[in-house]
Chain A
């Protein structure tokens, strides 16, 4: 949920404020605090668009370009999702962020026994290229960037996306896809993993390498501090783990003999926004600087564009509560403010009903309006990085930097992120913090309005998105139809070629593209990978 601990005396005066990252906030900040943390305006700040980019990667911030709004959307069948996409675009949304159902995320076809009850429930079901064609029918893919929220089988979905775009006549150098494609965070916090660590990271390397050559506008990886924070870690750890994960993927591609400046521009980040406002703003500013420093100093990047921390700052899921759900509308507005003050280039917001279910159209629209009000009524486009130079914010940004570097160092000392995940260190750390946090809320030490304070008042009912079991039947019927109509020999051949490529550790992307074009299913392609790679085993963490 993300609130600070407040130490008070009996007169309700605040004696101390302790942020989740462990930083104490003082009652008053002055020039002396800046001196104490060693703040150097030239080195730490510079101008927006200048190294180290603390103030933003564009010289004119939102003046030159408003943020991209990309609500997480998708449910039921591809047709239902396509209708919702079009609705959101007609309301002024400028990008898409596709939600897939759990069977698709786990590489299972809709008719798999393990998929029962889950088809189309938390996102749209995808079995074959036919589903992608339906989902993106009539969407201007040369203009609308598409986030594909999928990880273990991201390589398959990127191939699907390219095959669909080409089928609809869009050139592959004009389309922009951002598959999430961050498997290490799934192993830490979200759980949609399939294959063991090593081949999973290799698959990510394949997508990055392929995108670099074939899909120049794609962002092949979106590293997610977001879900690690949702799982319990503090904001400083969120950035530290995200950067160490990114470093792991970078090293996978460097090992293949490419130069850092050739591919790192395709990296984006997905960061969370819930919590203490100041801590969030400081986090984004510190993260932008540290990413630039990391690229320059650790990897010797030279191209300024390689140093940009780009990504989506948004969501805020864990901050949303089931109690008094309409309060989430207000929370969302403040979270969006944190994202804007932190200089987000792309944003999204969990809808107020999301603690219950996937958003209704009304709730999704409210989130979009929240962004539009901020940008077009409240003044977020007026000037770049408006909090720069504040004694408090600059001190906090420096302190945040220190915290992030400390945790990054801890991971380095463990031998890097793969080790830290394989041994369960990060998972244990996240689970421990989640437990401490929950105890704090239950004891009333951490205040959550409507949950453990101001709980009285009328109970509010939310209108719920209803799951339609019929959409599963439709989906399975279409899968059968595709299997009947496709050229079975071609499918078998493309899958065999895919297996050969996987075994010989060649880049699998061109082979996946052929499989997709032959209407091989997600389940069939995943099965090939499972046979070659095996499956991930969770470390025991308690």
Chain B
């Protein structure tokens, strides 16, 4: 049997709008993944340490406040520091199109703005986790 994908759904920063995060968490679970939800108000350090403890394949960030660039930059730096660059990072939320190149430069390829069909993000995650294995 194929190993189940473990994904950490995380709400970084101060924003508490978690409808999207909780909806996506349920969809990922229904797609057969093991979902760990961090709850609100997580610092980047907390997210990285949970990712290590839970030995996840993927970190999914949900950001609605507009602070996605500074948060992602910090996260990627911290992951490198802790030696978990192999963990896949995906981002969802209110992400304006013009910020996508900057996120890609940080090494984040899976960018799913609000309204992305579940099927699309799920397939993307499955394919990319497989490719990294």
Contacts and interface: CB of A to CB of B under 8 A. Distances in A.
- A is bound by B: yes
Interface of A: 102-103, 105-106, 108, 114-118, 121-122, 186, 189-193, 230-232, 321-323, 355-357, 431-432, 434-435, 438-439, 442, 451, 464, 467, 538, 540-542
Contact of A102 (B14, B39, B43, B113): B14
B22 interface: yes
Q: Which applies to chain A's interface (DSSP): helix, strand, loop or mixed?
A: loop
A431 B94 contact: no
Nearest to A428: B22
Contacts, number: 92
Query: What is the size category of the interface that chain B forms with chain A?
Result: 20 to 34
Given A431-B26, A442-B117, A106 B70 contact: no
Nearest to B94: A356
A467 B66 contact: yes
B23 A435 contact: yes
B19 A121 contact: no
A4 B72 CA distance: 38
Contact of B15 (A115, A191, A321, A434): A191
A122 B17 CA distance: 12
A468 B69 CA distance: 14
Nearest to B118: A442
Given A102-B14, A231-B18, 9 more contacts: A115-B14, A117-B69, A190-B16, A191-B16, A191-B17, A230-B19, A432-B26, A435-B22, A451-B115
Interface of B: 11, 13-19, 22-23, 25-27, 29, 35, 37, 39-41, 43, 65-67, 69-71, 94, 96, 113-115, 117-119
Nearest to B113: A322
Nearest to B14: A102
Contacts of B13: 102, 117-118
Nearest to A427: B22
B23 A117 contact: no
Contacts of B14: 102-103, 105-106, 108, 114-115, 118, 192
B37 A117 contact: no
Contacts of A230: 19
B41 A357 contact: no
B46 to A, nearest CB: 11
Nearest to B13: A118
Given A102-B14, A191-B40, A356-B94, A232 B19 contact: yes
A223 B75 CA distance: 36
Given A116-B70, A356-B94, A186 B16 contact: yes
B78 to A, nearest CB: 14
5 contacts: A102-B65, A121-B67, A435-B27, A438-B27, A467-B66
B30 to A, nearest CB: 9
Given A357-B66, A451-B115, A542-B37, A434 B22 contact: yes
Contacts of A442: 117-119
Contacts of B117: 442
A324 to B, nearest CB: 12
Contact of B65 (A122, A231, A434): A122
Nearest to A187: B16
A538 B37 CA distance: 12
Kindly name the residue among A102, A108, A355, A541 whose own CB sees the greatest number of chain B CB atoms within 10 A: A102
A126 to B, nearest CB: 14
A17 to B, nearest CB: 24
B26 A435 contact: yes
- Counting chain A CB atoms within 10 Å of each CB, the highest count among B14, B18, B94, B113 belongs to B14
B97 to A, nearest CB: 9
Contacts of A438: 23, 27, 118
A231 B15 contact: no
A541 B40 CA distance: 12
